[in-house]
Amino acid sequence: MIELNLPKRFNAARYFVDRNVEEGRGDKTAIFFEDREYSYLQFLENVNRAANMLQGLGVQMENRVMLLLHDSPEMIFCFYGAIKLGAVPIPTSILMKSKDFLYVINDSRARILIVHSAFLPEIEKILDQTLYPIKVVVIGGQDHAYLQYDQLMSRAGGEFEAAETMSDDAAFWLYSGRNPEMLMGAVHHHSHLVYCSEAYAKGILRMTEDDRALASFLFFAYGLGNGAYFPFSVGASVILANHRPTPDLVYQDLLKYRPTLFLTVPTLLGALADYKKICREEGKDLEEVQSLRACISSAEILSPEVYQRFKEEFDVEVLDGTGSTEICHIFLSNGFGQVRPGSTGKVVPGYSTRLLDDDGLPVSPGEIGNLLVSGGSIASAYWNQREETKRNMLGDWFVTGDRYIVDEDGFYYFRGRSDDMLRVGGKWLAPREVENTLNQHPSVAESAVVGYKDKDQLIKPYAFVVLDHGFSQSEDLKEEIKSFVKDRIAAYKYPRWIEFIDTIPMTEGGKVRRFVLQERVDELKIDD
C-alpha cells in the first residue's frame, strides 16, 4: 500500500486544479484541444464556473451529476466542478444506447444531466421514463428547449471555495459492465485519484510536469486517469481530440501536439503501424514522430505481433498493462526496461495480488488461477448492489473475474475469464445481451455468441445463428442481422461474423455449451 498522508479534509479538485495555480503554473498550458489552449489559470476559472453553475441549478453535496460528453475541456471542467462542489460526477459511455442511459439516470438518481447535443436524440427517447426529476444541460446545438451550457457558464462566477469533503467521501462513480444482467455503479473516492496517480502515473510512467499526454475516452476508467487527472497530478499537459480515432488523424495529432506520452489501445497501435508502413511503401513523404518517450496500451490484450509492428515503425517502447473500472486504473503493467511482449507485466507497486484455484487455494507459478487484487483505489461498493458488492469485494480484495498465470519472474499472462464475459475494445460485453438482441430478429430462432481473435489477436464477437422456418441462409441476411443488432445495442457489441448453424449445442440443463463453439471458432482462419 502507498501511504498518501492526505489531510482529513480533502477535496480532489483543489489538489488537481487549484494546487497547480498555487504552485506557480497558472500561465502553463493545462489542456490542448483543437486550436485552443487552456492555461491552468483558465482551467481553474472554468472549474469554478462549472461548480457555481451546478450549485445554481440546485445541486448539493453528494448529488449525482451525469456527464455524457465527448473528450473535451468541458468534460474535465464539469468533472472537477462537480467534485469541487462536493457532488458526484458520473462520466458515462457515449457508446451506449437510450435504454442504458435510462438505466444509469434512474439507478444513480442523477439531478443533472450534462450532455452534448450529438447524444440528445438518444436521451430524448427516454426522458419521459425517468423516475426522478432531472435537469438537462446541453453543450452545443441550438435547436432544443433545454438549458444551454454556454449561457449558464457565462453567467456563473469564476470564484468558488471547495466543499469541505473528506478523502473518503465519494468523488465520482463509474458504471461497470462486468455483470451481464445490469450495469453497476462503482463508487470511487477523493483519495483514489491521488492513489492511482502516485502508483501508476509517477511510479510506472515517471510522469513529470514536462510531459504532454495524448489521451482519449475519458468516460471510462483507463481514459479518465490518462486524460483527466494523471497530467494534473504533476502539472503536466493533456491533449484531447474531437475527431474519430482514425490512424491518419491520430498521426497528425502526434505531429501537431508533440506528446511525450501516447495512451491508447492495441487496436489503434496496430492501425498506426499499418498506416505508416503503407505510406512508406506507397512512397509518401511522412514526417517522423519524434516527441514520444513511451506509448501506453491497455483495455485489450496487446499481442506480441502488434507490439513488434508498432515498435519497429515508431521506435518507441510500449508499456502494456491491465486495470479495471473497480480498481480505477492499471494494477498490472510492464515498465521501462522491463517489457515482455505478450505479458501484461508485473504488479504495480502499491497493489498486491493473489492467484487462487477454484477452491480458493494459491496456485504455483505457471498454473492458471483466479486473480484477486488489493490496493488503495478499489471501489468501496457497487451502488445499491449489496450482493454483488459482497461477492466481489472481499475485505481488502477485489475479485477481478480474470484468470492469469504468473511466471517465476513475476510477469502475468492473461488466460481468459472465469465467466462468459468478453473484453471488446476495452469494454465488457455479455454474450447473453448480444444473443437476446439477435433473437429479436424475425429470422433468428436461437443464437450463441463467443469471442474470436482477429489478425491482431483482439477479441471481437462471433455469432452462431439458427434460422427460423421459412428463412434461407445468405450473405445479405447476415448483414441485415448485424445492422439490426447494431441499431439496438452499443455498436461495439454487434457480431463481426455470423455463422448459420443447424443447432446450438446445449447441456442437459439447457445451457449453451459455449466451450464447444469456442473451440470451433479457435480453429478458424478468417481473412480480417
Domains delineated in the chain: 12-167 (3.40.50.12780), 214-417 (3.40.50.12780), 430-522 (3.30.300.30)
What is the average per-residue pLDDT within 314-339? 97
- Range with lowest mean pLDDT among 12-26, 111-125, 354-368: 354-368
Q: What is the pLDDT of residue 422?
A: 85
Higher pLDDT, 523 or 188: 188
CA dihedral 444, 445, 448, 453 (to 10 degrees): -30
Q: What integer pLDDT is reported at residue 418 of this predicted model?
A: 74
Contact predicate 110/39, CB 8 Å: no
pLDDT of residue 455: 80
Residue 527, pLDDT score: 62
Least confident range of 249-263, 277-291, 499-513? 499-513
What average pLDDT does the segment 23-36 reach? 97
Q: Identify the residue with better confidence: 528 or 440.
A: 440
Predicted local confidence at residue 436, as pLDDT: 85
3-state secondary structure of 199: helix
Alpha-carbon separation of residue 7 from 3, 164, 166, 191, 457 (angstroms): 12, 11, 8, 10, 46
Q: Please tell me the distance from the alpha carbon of residue 297 to that of residue 319, in angstroms, as a whole number.
A: 6
Which set of grid coordinates corresponds to residue 58?
A: 440546485
Q: Measured between alpha carbons, how far is 240 from 217 in angstroms, rounded to an integer?
A: 9
What is the pTM assigned to this prediction? 0.85
User: What integer best gives the mean pLDDT of the chain?
Assistant: 94
What pLDDT was estimated at residue 337?
Answer: 95
pLDDT per position as a tens digit, 48-104: 999 999 999 999 999 999 999 999 999 999 999 999 999 999 999 999 999 999 999
Residues 217-268: pLDDT tens digits? 999 999 999 999 999 999 999 999 989 999 999 999 999 999 999 999 999 9
Q: What is 416-456 written as a DSSP string? A: EESSS-EEETTEEE-HHHHHHHHTTSTTEEEEEEEEEE-TT
> Percentage of residues in the chain with pLDDT exceeding 90?
84
- Per-residue pLDDT, 509: 57
